[in-house]
Amino acid sequence: MTTAEPPTQAAPSRPSTQMGALLALIAVGVGVAVILGLYGALHDPTGQAVNIGGFSSGLYAKAWLTTGAFVLALVQITTALIMFGKIKVANQPPWIGTLHRWSGRIAVLLTVPVAVHCLYALGFQTAQPRVLFHSLFGCIFYGAFVTKMLVLSRKGLPGWALPVIGGVVFTALVGLWFSAGLWVFTTQGFKI
């Protein structure tokens, strides 16, 4: 999915081609979301998967990893607002960009084991509203993430593209956490 993009043009492109490029990147993200959803819906969930040690159960491992990603997502939205000047900070520290990039990388890497377990062991499910929304958010999150990474790596796209897609990524992650991580803690007890 990362090799499908043509090399960036050095010359500034016309608005219509910019929009076309943006739409193409969005299409790649939508494709990723749909493929994840189809895989989750069509394969037979195994009901079990390899687990991460150190937690009382696989369920809590997932809940805590998602919670870690959620906290880092709050860092993400805060640093993004600072970088875009929406939160005024006197003498904006030069490391804000680095903090934004690395908190984002760690956040998304934390979600990967959770997502693999969800997709492999449980699949795309629709039986309850919570589970349906969680499945949808999961697909949207990775699709939007792919689009955002691709948008970041291209110059000359409309300025609103990055905040909007970043907002989608953030919203999906918050939705994921509310529909599963927080749900585990509130219904089954708050523990490691």
Partner 1 sequence: MKNRGPILTLVAVAVLGLVLFLVNLSAAPGTPPPADAAAGAAATTTASAEPVAAATPFPAQASYTGKTEGKAPPEAAIAITVKGEKASSYVCDGKSVETWYNGTAKDGKLELKGKGDNKLTGTLNGDTITGEVSAGGKTWKFTAKLAQKPAGLYRASGGGTTTGWIRQPDGAVTGLMSNGAPAPPLDTATAQSVEGDTAVVN
CB 67 within 8 A of CB 177: yes
Question: What's the farthest any 2 CA atoms get from each other in the chain?
Answer: 57
> Applying CB under 8 A, what is the total number of residues that bind partner 1?
47
Judged by CB under 8 A, does residue 61 bind partner 1?
yes
Which CB, 50 or 91, lies closer to partner 1?
50
Paired tokens of 118: 């969800």
Nearest to 143 by CA among 69, 37, 43, 71: 37
If DSSP codes are grouped into helix, strand and coil, which group holds residue 161? helix
CA distances from 93 to 14, 66, 96, 162 (A): 34, 28, 6, 21
Q: Does 50 bind partner 1 (CB under 8 A)?
A: yes
Note whether 58 binds partner 1 by CB under 8 A.
yes
Q: Does 57 bind partner 1 (CB under 8 A)?
A: yes
| Residue 13 binds to partner 1 (criterion: CB under 8 A) | no
For partner 1, which stretch binds (CB under 8 A), given 12-20, 49-57, 72-80, 87-95? 49-57
109 belongs to the binding site for partner 1 (CB under 8 A): yes
* Window 136 to 155, contacts with partner 1 (CB under 8 A): 145-146, 148-150, 152-155
Which residue lies nearer to partner 1 by CB, 15 or 129?
129
Query: How many C-beta atoms lie closer than 10 Å to residue 177's C-beta?
Result: 22
Contacts 24+ apart (CB under 8 A), 103-108: 103/72, 103/75, 103/76, 103/79, 104/72, 104/76, 106/72, 107/68, 107/69, 107/72, 107/73, 107/76, 107/173, 108/69, 108/145
Helix (H, G, I), strand (E, B) or coil at 80: helix
Question: Among 16-24, 71-79, 125-133, 167-175, which window interacts with partner 1 (CB under 8 A)?
Answer: 125-133
Which residue's CB is nearer to partner 1, number 87 or number 105?
105
108 binds partner 1 (CB under 8 A): yes
Q: Which of 27, 34, 188, 192 binds partner 1 (CB under 8 A)?
A: 188
Q: Which residues bind partner 1 (CB under 8 A)?
A: 1-2, 7-8, 44-51, 53, 55-61, 101, 104-105, 108-109, 112-113, 115-116, 120-122, 125, 127-128, 131, 145-146, 148-150, 152-155, 187-188
